[in-house]
Amino acid sequence: NVEPRSVPVFPWHSLVPFLAPTQSD
């Protein structure tokens, strides 16, 4: 039996650095 290889799926927000804390709106 060959098990299907799972392909990693990454969330979209992983691609974007958190650059700054939100300042008060």
Partner 1 sequence: SSPSSPVALPPFFMRGSIIQLADGELKRVEDLKTEDFIQSAEISSELKIDSSTVERIDCGQSPNAVLIQFSVGELKAQVCVEVLVEYPFFVFGQGWSSCCPDRTTQLFELSCAKLCVGDVCVSLTLRSLR
Q: Closest approach of Cβ 5 to partner 1, in Å? A: 13
**Using rule CB under 8 A, residue 14 touches partner 1:** yes
Nearer to partner 1, 2 or 10 (CB): 10
**Using rule CB under 8 A, residue 5 touches partner 1:** no
Two tokens, residue 18: 């958190």
Alpha-carbon gap, residue 17 to 8, rounded angstroms? 20
Alpha-carbon gap, residue 1 to 3, rounded angstroms? 6
Nearer to partner 1, 4 or 10 (CB): 10
Binding stretches for partner 1 (CB under 8 A) = 7-25
